[in-house]
Amino acid sequence: MAKMERLSRSKWTATAASILIQCTGGSPYAFSIYSPAIKSSQGYDQSTLDTVSVFKDIGGNVGVLSGILYSAVALNRRRIGGPWVVLLVGAIQCFVGYFFLWAAVTGLVERPPVAVVCLFMLLAAHAQTFFNTANVVTGVHNFSDYGGTIVGIMKGFLGLSSAILVQVYDTFCNGNPSTFILLLALLPTSVTILFMPLVKIHEAGRSAIDKKYLNIFSAYALLTAAYLIVLIIFRTIFTFPSWASVLTVTPLLLCLLVSPLGIAIKAQNLQPKKLPGTPNDPLLENPEPVLASSNLSASENPTDHEDMNLLKAMICVDFWLLFIAMICGMGSGLATINNMGQIGESLGYTTVEINSLVSLWSIWNFLGRFGAGYVSDYLLHKKGWARPLLMAVTLATMAAGHIVISSGFPGNLYVGSILVGICYGSQWSLMPTITSEIFGIRHMGTIFNTIAIASPVGSYIFSVRVIGFIYDREASGEDDDSCSGTHCFMLSFFIMASVAFFGFLVALALFFRTRRFYHTIVLKRLRHSSPKQ
């Protein structure tokens, strides 16, 4: 009993619980699966559906409220609560939002106005920000020395979650999108409520095994992604009977449940026991965050960017360069996944192929999030290259991906979604890191969430004002208001390719503006904080 209690109070168990919640927390990325059911049941045209998708993007990307709530209940010792409160609020939003959408699609309630559907879509997607904030920030508190690694793990599993959910849909929902919406109301809510008591902030003390077992969690994430890729490819090439689908997906679900807990148990057994008198509360150990630049003299600092608050950051050119680059990158990437179903239908892809594309997008998104941090760290440490350079490279590659999709050649969506998916995921890894390095870490959360608003802003512009408008114009002569052929989306993706290339130029300007700063400040900071050999 004492051992079980010790395990339940372990930062490793908290990490495993967070991973399991993240594995079901990315339902907004599966919008392409159930959006046709919303469109047909409510009688929407493409522009109206894209408006609903924009509210999904706003809910899924504007996480300021979740951050405020986390600070109030988890970091203030005078308040009662913890990260579980944030997770519970997210679970409630998830259930209410998706349950109402399911009721509307199935006709359980009278057809609601578009504004009401947008509201509940926003509510359902907004749950993701509460899951993500609670799990990521708790992970950083528990592994303060390896913040980049733990953020990569959490963001990576969130990126994989839609692929996992789509495999569950293909196996257990019999191709019924309305059943999938009900699944999204029940599964993430149940998993979150089950594991949220384990997600806690524990002591911030260092341990020699931290890096080793975080790397094991990372390897587990890569193995999960590899299994999903093989599974998706086989299910695209071959038609599996229902019993075979169950046999291939069930081991994945069991491994997802057992493996993180197994890693946590093994890590906890090797965790050094706490010395008597060691504080239990990390807030007592670290009452005030220490800026990374605090050990540098003022004369060594060629920029006044360190420790900016939001208002100071917003009058800085670098802030707006980063914001515009994210409109171009995140906005066009979100518009692509939101319209993947309609693009596939217009090009003659089967339902199975479209579902596979959505699942594979989740994999590419994961690889971008997971890989960009590692590659940018390598280039910075080994080559001295500033991170905005890699951002510029990924935006140029994204432009090429949009051109591939616009071309309409056989298999173009598979090739284009790889390029756009990886580059889109990269932005979510690079942007927060660049934000913390240029503007300082003390107000990083506020500044990061403000820049992230670029994602739904860009998605609205490209989804509604570009893709939706051009699609409806091309489909206006058809009897069923649907469009078939490469002309339906060709012009839209040429426009988004041009925008992504403009984002490349903006990121390149940011690179030249910050190159000296990275060489004189960031690299010195890294060398200063490196352990002496």
Q: In this predicted model, what pLDDT tens digit does every residue of 444-457 receive, in sequence order?
A: 667 777 888 898 89
Instruction: Give the span between the Cα atoms of 454 and 322, in whole angstroms.
Output: 9
The pLDDT of residue 223: 87
Q: pLDDT tens digit string along 401-432?
A: 999 999 988 889 999 999 999 999 989 878 87
pLDDT, average across residues 504-524: 87
pLDDT, average across residues 126-139: 87
Q: pLDDT tens digit string along 160-216?
A: 888 888 888 878 777 788 899 999 999 999 999 999 999 988 765 556 677 788 888
Q: Which of 39-43, 48-52, 152-156, 475-479 has the weakest average pLDDT?
A: 475-479
The pLDDT of residue 466: 92
Residue 526 pLDDT greater than 60, yes or no: no
Percent of the chain surpassing pLDDT 70: 84
Maximal CA-CA distance, the chain: 78
Angstrom CA distances, 304 to 274, 288, 307, 451, stand at 41, 21, 8, 19
The pLDDT of residue 301: 42
Instruction: Give the span between the Cα atoms of 196 and 201, in whole angstroms.
Output: 12
Whether the CA torsion 411, 416, 422, 425 is positive or negative: it is: negative
Residue 84 pLDDT greater than 80, yes or no: yes
pLDDT, average across residues 90-100: 96
Residue 122 pLDDT greater than 90, yes or no: yes
Return the H-helix or E-strand segment holding 169. Answer: helix 147-172
pLDDT, average across residues 32-50: 86
Instruction: Give the span between the Cα atoms of 345 and 197, in whole angstroms.
Output: 43
Instruction: Give the span between the Cα atoms of 89 and 66, in whole angstroms.
Output: 9
The pLDDT of residue 299: 36
pLDDT, average across residues 62-86: 77
The pLDDT of residue 308: 78
Instruction: Give the span between the Cα atoms of 358 and 176, in whole angstroms.
Output: 16
Higher pLDDT, 317 or 252: 317
Taking residue 279's Cβ as centre, other Cβ atoms within 10 Å add up to 13
The answer to whether 405 and 343 are in contact (CB under 8 A) is yes
The pLDDT of residue 352: 78
Q: pLDDT tens digit string along 305-342?
A: 456 777 888 999 999 999 999 999 999 998 998 888 88
Which tokens in the block code for residue 175?
A: 């191709």
The pLDDT of residue 82: 85
The pLDDT of residue 284: 36
pLDDT, average across residues 80-109: 92
Residue 288 pLDDT greater than 50, yes or no: no
Instruction: Give the span between the Cα atoms of 419 and 475, in whole angstroms.
Output: 28
Taking all residues of the chain, what is their mean pLDDT, rounded to a whole number?
81
Instruction: Give the span between the Cα atoms of 433 and 150, in whole angstroms.
Output: 13
The pLDDT of residue 298: 36
Higher pLDDT, 522 or 53: 53
Instruction: Give the span between the Cα atoms of 152 and 366, in whole angstroms.
Output: 9
Burial string for 352-367 (b: 16+ CB within 10 Å, else e) reads ebbbbbbbbbbbbbbb
Most confident of the ranges 248-257, 333-342, 435-444: 333-342
Q: pLDDT tens digit string along 370-380?
A: 788 777 777 87
HSE on the CB side for 443, CA within 13 Å? 16
pTM over 0.85: no
The answer to whether 134 and 83 are in contact (CB under 8 A) is yes
User: Token match 């999960």: residue?
Assistant: 224
Higher pLDDT, 247 or 25: 25
Complete domains list, the chain, with CATH: 1-270 (1.20.1250.20), 307-532 (1.20.1250.20)
DSSP letter (8 states) at residue 316: S
Percent of the chain surpassing pLDDT 90: 30
pLDDT, average across residues 489-513: 96
